[in-house]
A = this chain, B = another copy of it.
Amino acid sequence: MKEVFDYIDSSHDSAIELLSKLVRQPSVAATGQGIKECSELVTNLLGEIGANPKVYDLGEGSPVIAGEIKSKKNPKKTILFYNHYDVQPPEPLELWDSPPFSPTIKEGTMYGRGVSDDKGELAGRLKLTEAFLKTWNDVPCNFKFVFEGEEEIGSIHLGKYVKKSPEIFRADGVIWEFGGVDPKERPQVILGVKGILYIELTSKIAKKDAHSSLGAIVENPAWRLVGALSTLKKDDEILIPGWYEDVKRFTKEELEWIRKAPYDAKSVKHELGIKNFIADMGVDEAKKALAGKPTCTICGMNSGYTGVGSKTVLPSEAFAKIDFRLVPDQDPDDLIKKLRKHLVSKGYGDVEIAYSEGEKAKRTSPREPLAIAAKEAAESVYQKPAIVEISSAGTGPMYLFDSPCVAIGGGHAFTNAHAPNENKRLDYLVSGMKWVADTVNRFAIQ
């Protein structure tokens, strides 16, 4: 791998140039800004490394761009790189120190929207592929690329692309779109994500707001909503019958990996200004909850008058947005039926449920050859022990890929992804490429 690593080191400037080019092209999935142009850009970039790009476009949302490079020496194994070319909206603009779509480098760190999430990783995958091809004139196994353009809006059409064109998603292993080192710069091999069921509950009663003196005789949707919500959860336990039915318990091995993974609870508490976690849980409980606890979180709630001072109004409508995080093998389609049944049984059949997002959880076993390769490569490149996380607390469309997935890459902590002044440390752009390249090579020759 020495010649590949040397190429990565010596082509550092051209990697930065490639990343700058990608960041200069806005691609905001939420608004559609620049999506088409950016999909063309990544198509061309795949073409330039010889990946035979194809555009898959269902006509709704952003197209999926896929490419493939066959390995000469190892055509029976295939690794797939899943990345996304869309970015979060750059707002609020006034909080940026430099314009979000004008990549700016300060002290070895590049600033710009998408520089870290996910254009830095996408550029890294392209450049490490180039490194193999320029030095070995081959790739260690077949390389597949799937670049989607809706990750930042919940990958809303990706499932349809999988159904329509399953062949482009087929592989022996998947390198996920994010990954890197933790706040103490220890490499993390992340092997799973939680699922999600995101819904909106709405209670509507009257056709317009009324004077609150009518509260004596007219039903209040805010009270209906509070009543419905209070049947969902108690003492951090979800009360919907059957909710935990399909939850796979942690294996002994998983518990051991969770125990071994460090978690900087102090930093998290300091960052949020809180003294304790829920129910005073300790670090071990917190790690288990983050990796494997089904949650029910009110993300938003609104009814009636919410301005300054007092207004005596009886609202006509109330709603709450709720994010249930799921774990293997919970199924959002099944759970929403259970939720509906539960609300009816509790006398809240009039509370409407709008289903806005559903994704299953996914985990890859730490015993999987790809997971082992990622861990060994991390320790070889960084010369320190790697942390294995059996699941991130976050969510992504990993479940759409049948094969094992590892989330590794060139990320560092505190990149301000999704926030102003998103940034990427350029030293990790390089080391992340080496890590991924070495992982793929170890996986290929296993």
> Could you give, for residues 185-228 of chain A, a 1 whenever the CB lies within 8 Å of some chain B CB and a 0 otherwise?
00000000010101000000111101111111111101100110
Q: Which residues of chain B have C-beta atoms less than 8 A from A309's C-beta?
A: 356
> A304 contacts the other chain (Cβ, under 8 Å)?
yes
Nearest CB in chain B to that of A316: its residue? B272
From 243 to 284 in chain A, residues with beta carbon under 8 angstroms from any chain B beta carbon are: 268, 272-274, 277-278, 281
Instruction: Give the most central of A207, A230, A298, A309: most B CB within 10 Å.
Output: A298
Contact yes or no, A212 B272, CB < 8 A: no
Collect the chain B residues with CB atoms within 8 Å of residue A93's CB: none
Q: At the interface, yes or no: A339 with Cβ under 8 Å from chain B?
A: no
List A residues 271-305 near B (Cβ within 8 Å).
272-274, 277-278, 281, 286, 289-290, 293, 295-305
- Is A122 among interface residues, defined by CB-CB distance under 8 A? no
Complex contacts, A208 vs chain B, CB 8 Å: 272-273
Measured between alpha carbons, how far is A275 from B319 in the docked complex, in Å? 21
The complex places the Cα of A397 from the Cα of B419 at a distance, in Å, of: 50
Instruction: State whether B194 touches A299 (Cβ < 8 A).
Output: no
User: Main SS of the interface on chain A?
Assistant: mixed
Quote the shortest CB–CB distance from A385 to chain B (angstroms): 24
Q: Do B213 and A223 touch (CB < 8 A)? A: no
Q: Given the complex, which residues of B lie within 8 Å of A1, measured CB to CB?
A: none
A233: CB under 8 A from chain B?
Answer: yes
Contacting residue for A300 out of B198, B219, B295, B311, CB 8 A: B311
In the bound complex, CA of A227 to CA of B268 (Å): 25
**Nearest chain-B residue to A233 (Cβ)?**
B223
Chain B nearest Cβ from A301, distance in angstroms: 4
Known: A229-B226, A300-B303. A210 touches B272 (CB 8 A): yes
Q: From known contacts A213-B290, A218-B278, A273-B206, infer whether A301 and B302 are also in contact, taking CB-CB under 8 Å.
A: yes
Q: Is A430 an interface residue when CB atoms closer than 8 A count as contact?
A: no
Query: Measured between C-beta atoms, what is the minimum distance from A328 to chain B in Å?
Result: 15
Q: Is residue A441 within 8 Å, beta carbon to beta carbon, of the partner chain? A: no
Known: A300-B305, A310-B357, A311-B321. A272 touches B216 (CB 8 A): no
Question: Separation in Å of the A71 CB from the closest CB of chain B?
Answer: 37
Residues of B within 8 A of A211 (CB): 394
Do A289 and B356 touch (CB < 8 A)?
no
Pairwise interchain contact A207-B272, C-beta atoms closer than 8 A: yes
Which residue of the partner chain B has the closest CB to A198? B310
Residues of B within 8 A of A219 (CB): 274, 277-278
Q: State whether B220 touches A297 (Cβ < 8 A).
A: yes
A315 within 8 A of B: yes
- Which chain B positions have C-beta within 8 A of A303? 298, 300-302
Measured CB to CB, the nearest residue on chain B to A304 is: B300
A226 neighbours in B (Cβ, 8 Å)? 226, 229-230, 298, 301
The verdict on A395 contacting chain B, using a C-beta distance below 8 Å, is yes
6 closest A-B pairs by CB: A215-B297, A207-B273, A222-B298, A213-B393, A230-B230, A300-B304
29 A–B contacts from the bound complex (CB under 8 Å): A194-B213, A198-B310, A198-B312, A205-B274, A206-B272, A213-B393, A214-B272, A215-B295, A216-B286, A216-B393, A217-B278, A218-B278, A219-B274, A220-B298, A223-B233, A272-B316, A299-B305, A299-B310, A299-B312, A299-B315, A300-B303, A300-B304, A300-B307, A300-B311, A301-B301, A301-B318, A302-B303, A304-B321, A305-B321
A interface list, Cβ under 8 A from B = 154, 194, 196, 198, 205-208, 210-220, 222-223, 226-227, 229-230, 233, 268, 272-274, 277-278, 281, 286, 289-290, 293, 295-307, 309-316, 318-321, 323, 325, 356-357, 392-395
4 extra interchain contacts, Cβ-Cβ under 8 A, other than A194-B213, A219-B277, A223-B297?
Answer: A213-B325, A222-B300, A300-B305, A300-B307
